[in-house]
C-alpha cells in the first residue's frame, strides 16, 4: 500500500526533444492528433538496410546539445535557480558516446557513459553527476526510481533525471541486422500486421523534487510520482518472457505502492515496440496485472509516433504520460491496422479527451528488465 510516512516526490519540471523537434508543444500537437515523425533516414547511408526510416529531427543534431537543452528547459520550467540549481544532482540515461569507440586514445576510449553525465552537469551548471544508466529502454525509468530513493532518504531534496538517444548509424545498423526494425517503415504497435520497431530521436529531462521542498519554493507541481515497480523476467538475453510475468509483477508493484486499484488508472502509456513477441507478452502481462480492466483502460504506445528512442524512451514516455494527464488529452496509438486477438487492449485510435487522475507508464528492455511508473496528475494547464 502507499507509504505516507516518507516524503512525496513531485515532478516540478520537464522537457522533451523528439523527432517532432524541441519542446513539449510540438510533441503534444503531434501525439494528440495522431501524427508520426517517421521519414527516410538522411543522417547516414541506409541504402543497404532492410529498414530505411526513423523519426529524426530536421537538420544536424548533436546529443550533447540536445541533452543540455533538455536539462536547461526542465530547470527553467521548474523555476530552479541558483544556488539550488548548482547543488542539484544529475542522473543521466545514455549509452556511451559512439565516438569513444572510434578514439585511438585508450584513455578516451575508457571514459564510458559516465563521461557524458559529467560533461552535461558541468556544461549546464548543475550539481554533481552521479552516474549514467546504460540499462537500454528502461534506463530513464530506472533513474527516476533511484531519484525517488535519493529524495525519500533525504540524500537530496531534488534530482534532475536526463535521458537521450539520437538515431545513429551504429545502433540503426545493429538493430537492422537483428531484424528488429520495420521494413515497411510504419510502427504498428499491438496491430496484427506489426513488423517491427523504428528508431527515433529523443532527449528528455524531469526534475523530481520532494513535494514539501517544491511547495516551499513555490515550484509548479506537474505530477506526483505515486508508485513504481521494477522486475526481471529471468528468461532470456533479449526476448521477453511470453507469459508477461515480469511486466505483470512490475505493474502490480507500482499499483501497490501507489495504493491504487487498477481501475483508478485512466491512461496507460505502453512499451509497445511494434515487434511480434514483445507486444504480445506485454498485453498478457497487462492482462495479468490489470485483469479485465486491461481491455477497458485507454492505452497507447507512443513509440508508434516518435519511434523507439532507446535510453531516451522511458523518460520521454513518462513526460508524455504527465502531459496527457495535465492536458486531458490521450496520445494516439498511430499506425494501427488490424486487430490482434493476442493484444486485446483498448487502444486509443482517434484523438480523445480524458479526465484521468492517474497514468501508468510501462517499459521493458533487453535482459528481460521491466519498469512501471504510476503518476498522479498535478496542476492542470
Identify whether 306 is a catalytic site residue. Answer: no
Catalytic one of 124, 271, 306, 343: 271
Q: For the window 177-216, what string marks contact with another protein as x by the rule CB under 8 A?
A: xxxx------------------------------------
Cis peptide bond N-terminal to 138, omega within 30: no
Segment lying near another protein (by CB under 8 A), choices 25-33, 54-62, 169-177, 209-217: 169-177
Identify whether 236 is a catalytic site residue. Answer: no
Host H or E run for residue 374:
strand 369-377
73-112: which residues touch another protein (CB under 8 A)? 95-96, 98, 100-102, 106-112
Beta bridge partners of 364: 370
d(CA 307, CA 19): 8
Q: Which is nearer to another protein, 75 or 310 (CB)?
A: 310
Which member of 42, 81, 153, 337 binds another protein (CB under 8 A)?
153
What three-state secondary structure class fits 376?
strand
Residues in the chain: 381
Nearest distance, CB of residue 361 and another protein, angstroms = 16
Number of residues counted as binding another protein (CB under 8 A): 69
Segment lying near another protein (by CB under 8 A), choices 76-84, 242-250, 260-268, 299-307: 242-250
What's the count of helices (H) and strands (E) in the chain, helices before strands? 13, 16
Question: Would strands 265-269 and 223-232 be described as parallel, antiparallel, or unpaired?
Answer: unpaired
251-270: which residues touch another protein (CB under 8 A)? 253
For position 129 contacting another protein by CB under 8 A, the verdict is yes
Identify whether 343 is a catalytic site residue. Answer: no
Q: Which is nearer to another protein, 99 or 193 (CB)?
A: 99
Between vectors from CA 218 to CA 217 and to CA 221, what angle results, nearest 5°? 120
Q: Quick one: cell of 201?
A: 530521436
For position 154 contacting another protein by CB under 8 A, the verdict is no
| Residue 28 buriedness (CB in 10 A; 0-12 / 13-18 / 19+) | buried
Segment lying near another protein (by CB under 8 A), choices 13-21, 74-82, 201-209, 359-367: 359-367
d(CA 292, CA 357): 20
CA distances (Å), 269 to each of 11, 26, 28, 121, 330, in order?
17, 18, 14, 29, 10
Catalytic one of 137, 222, 306, 343: 137
Q: Which is nearer to another protein, 266 or 307 (CB)?
A: 307
Q: Which is nearer to another protein, 98 or 261 (CB)?
A: 98
All residues at 6 or more sequence positions from 219 whose CB lies less than 8 Å from its CB, including other chains = 10, 12, 13, 78, 79, 80, 209
For position 235 contacting another protein by CB under 8 A, the verdict is yes
Nearest distance, CB of residue 316 and another protein, angstroms = 17
Residue 347 and residue 338 in contact, taking contact as beta carbons nearer than 8 Å? no
Nearest distance, CB of residue 263 and another protein, angstroms = 24
Q: Where are the alpha helices (DSSP H) in the chain?
A: 24-33, 63-78, 84-87, 98-101, 106-109, 114-123, 139-152, 169-177, 211-216, 245-258, 276-290, 303-306, 313-327
Q: Which is nearer to another protein, 107 or 218 (CB)?
A: 107
Q: For the window 31-70, what string marks contact with another protein as x by the rule CB under 8 A?
A: -----------------x----------------------
Residues acting as catalytic residues: 137, 271, 308
Which residues here bind another protein, judged by CB under 8 A? 48, 95-96, 98, 100-102, 106-115, 117-118, 121, 128-136, 138-139, 142, 145-146, 148-150, 152-153, 169-171, 173-180, 229-238, 245-246, 249, 253, 365-369
Amino acid at each position: 500500500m502507499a507509504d505516507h510516512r516518507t516524503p512525496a516526490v513531485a515532478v516540478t519540471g520537464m522537457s522533451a526533444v523528439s523527432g517532432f523537434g524541441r519542446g513539449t508543444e510540438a510533441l503534444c500537437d503531434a501525439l494528440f492528433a495522431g501524427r508520426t515523425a517517421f521519414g527516410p533516414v538522411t543522417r547516414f547511408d541506409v541504402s543497404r538496410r532492410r529498414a530505411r526510416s526513423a523519426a529524426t529531427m530536421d537538420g544536424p543534431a548533436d546529443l550533447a546539445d540536445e541533452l543540455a537543452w533538455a536539462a536547461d528547459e526542465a530547470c527553467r520550467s521548474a523555476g530552479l535557480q541558483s544556488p539550488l540549481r548548482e547543488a542539484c544532482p544529475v542522473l543521466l540515461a545514455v549509452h556511451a558516446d559512439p565516438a569513444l569507440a572510434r578514439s585511438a586514445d585508450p584513455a578516451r576510449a575508457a571514459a564510458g557513459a559516465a563521461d557524458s553525465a559529467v560533461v552535461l552537469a558541468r556544461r549546464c551548471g548543475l550539481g554533481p553527476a552521479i552516474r549514467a544508466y546504460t540499462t537500454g529502454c528502461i534506463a530513464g525509468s530506472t533513474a527516476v526510481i533511484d531519484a525517488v530513493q535519493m529524495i525519500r532518504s533525504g540524500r537530496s531534496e531534488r534530482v534532475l533525471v536526463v535521458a537521450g538517444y539520437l538515431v545513429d548509424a551504429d545502433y540503426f545498423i545493429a538493430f537492422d541486422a537483428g531484424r528488429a526494425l520495420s521494413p515497411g517503415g510504419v510502427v504498428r504497435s499491438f496491430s496484427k500486421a506489426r513488423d517491427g520497431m523504428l528508431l527515433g530521436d529523443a532527449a528528455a529531462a524531469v526534475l523530481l523534487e520532494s513535494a514539501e521542498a517544491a511547495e516551499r519554493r513555490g515550484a509548479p507541481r506537474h505530477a506526483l510520482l505515486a508508485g513504481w515497480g521494477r522486475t526481471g523476467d529471468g528468461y532470456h538475453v533479449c526476448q521477453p518472457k511470453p507469459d508477461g510475468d515480469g511486466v505483470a509483477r512490475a505493474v502490480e508493484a507500482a499499483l501497490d505502492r501507489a495504493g491504487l486499484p487498477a481501475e483508478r488508472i485512466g491512461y496507460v502509456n505502453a512499451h509497445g515496440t511494434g515487434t511480434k513477441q514483445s507486444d504480445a507478452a506485454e498485453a498478457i502481462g497487462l492482462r495479468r496485472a490489470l485483469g479485465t480492466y486491461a481491455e477497458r483502460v485507454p492505452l497507447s504506445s507512443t513509440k508508434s509516433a516518435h519511434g523507439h528512442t532507446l535510453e531516451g524512451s522511458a523518460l520521454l514516455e513518462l513526460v508524455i504520460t504527465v502531459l496527457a494527464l495535465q492536458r486531458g488529452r490521450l496520445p494516439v496509438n498511430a499506425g494501427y491496422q488490424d486487430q490482434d486477438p493476442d493484444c486485446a487492449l483498448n487502444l486509443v485510435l482517434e484523438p480523445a479527451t480524458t479526465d484521468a487522475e492517474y497514468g501508468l507508464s510501462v517499459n521493458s528492455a533487453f535482459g528481460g528488465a521491466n519498469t512501471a511508473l504510476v503518476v498522479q496528475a498535478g496542476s492542470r494547464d
